[in-house]
């Protein structure tokens, strides 16, 4: 490691600072429509590609722990979406073709489409009933002006924490205890 290379601790603190600033901006947005749509959904479908998709899988798990019926788009057991369902998406660019096709199909089926994105004017945002704009660098932005992290890391980190915040809000609103949720935790690990 050269003298100019930051330590892992310095990298961690830099990431924390970027994430804190980003989440403060997100917290100023109105997240309640997202929570209301999830709470009122017959079923929740989540869809994202790459690391954004992995982040949404974490949200899917927590929403399932809460007792919601949740499916990950692309899994072989995912049923057809229908009216009364919600499609929760994450795409930094808002242009990922598979996510756009799913949003178009969901919208045609009468689903509510929710989007987490960095691009408020994207095709995905235009297809969505609710849009949460995360002020993070898009995946292809390598300028370092919005984030010093690689590619869409800041966006993906924010998606994880936004999902956890939505879950936490819905859980606290439900009045259920941790013991009430525990029986839904995986037991085939």
pLDDT in tens, 13-58: 999 999 999 999 998 888 999 999 999 999 999 999 999 999 999 9
Does residue 183 sit within a domain?
no
Does residue 36 lie in a domain region?
yes
In a domain, 168, yes or no: yes
Active site residues: 156
Other Cβ atoms less than 10 A from the Cβ of 153: the count is: 18
Q: How far apart are CA 179 and CA 173, in angstroms?
A: 16
How do 86-90 and 70-72 pair as beta strands?
unpaired
pLDDT reading at 12 higher than 90:
yes
Beta bridge partners of 115: 89, 131
In this structure, are residues 131 and 31 in contact, taking their beta carbons and an 8 Å threshold?
no
pLDDT band at residue 189 using 50, 70 and 90 as cut-offs? confident
Supply the Cα-derived Rg of the chain in whole angstroms: 17
Residue 189 located in a structural domain: no
Q: Which domain holds residue 100?
A: 9-177
Q: Is 57 among the domain residues?
A: yes
CB atoms within 10 A of CB 80: 8
**Per-residue pLDDT tens digits for 129-148:** 999 999 998 767 777 778 88
pLDDT, one tens digit per residue, over 72-87 is 999 999 999 999 999 9
Output the domain CATH number for residue 149: 3.40.50.10490
Q: What is the pLDDT of residue 138?
A: 73
Instruction: Report which of 22, 24, 11, 35 is spatially closest to residue 171, judged by C-alpha positions.
Output: 35
Q: Does 3 fall in a domain?
A: no
Residue 2 banded pLDDT, cuts 50, 70, 90: low
Burial of 157 (0-12, 13-18, 19+ CB in 10 A): buried
Question: What's the number of domains the chain is made of?
Answer: 1
Q: Is residue 182 part of a domain?
A: no
Q: Is residue 155 part of a domain?
A: yes
Phi-psi region of 84 (alpha: psi -120 to 50; beta: other; left: phi over 0): left
Give the up-direction half-sphere exposure of residue 36: CA atoms within 13 A in the CB hemisphere.
Answer: 6
Residues with Cβ < 8 Å from 163, sequence gap 6 or more?
55, 56, 58, 59, 62
């Amino acid at each position: 490691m050269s003298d100019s290379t930051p330590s892992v601790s310095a990298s961690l603190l830099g990431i924390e600072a970027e994430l804190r600033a980003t989440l403060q901006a997100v917290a100023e947005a109105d997240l309640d429509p997202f929570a209301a749509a999830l709470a009122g959904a017959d079923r929740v479908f989540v869809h994202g590609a790459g690391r954004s998709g992995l982040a949404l899988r974490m949200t899917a798990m927590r929403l399932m722990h809460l007792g919601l019926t949740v499916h990950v788009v692309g899994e072989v057991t995912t049923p057809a979406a229908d009216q009364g369902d919600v499609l929760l998406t994450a795409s930094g660019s808002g242009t990922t073709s598979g996510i756009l096709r799913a949003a178009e199909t969901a919208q045609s089926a009468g689903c509510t489409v929710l989007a987490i994105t960095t691009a408020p004017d994207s095709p995905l945002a235009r297809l969505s009933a609710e849009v949460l704009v995360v002020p993070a660098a898009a995946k292809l932005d390598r300028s370092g002006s919005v984030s010093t992290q690689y590619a869409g890391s800041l966006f993906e980190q924010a998606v994880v924490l936004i999902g956890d915040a939505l879950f936490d809000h819905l859980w606290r609103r439900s009045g259920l205890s941790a013991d009430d949720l525990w029986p839904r935790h995986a037991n085939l690990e």
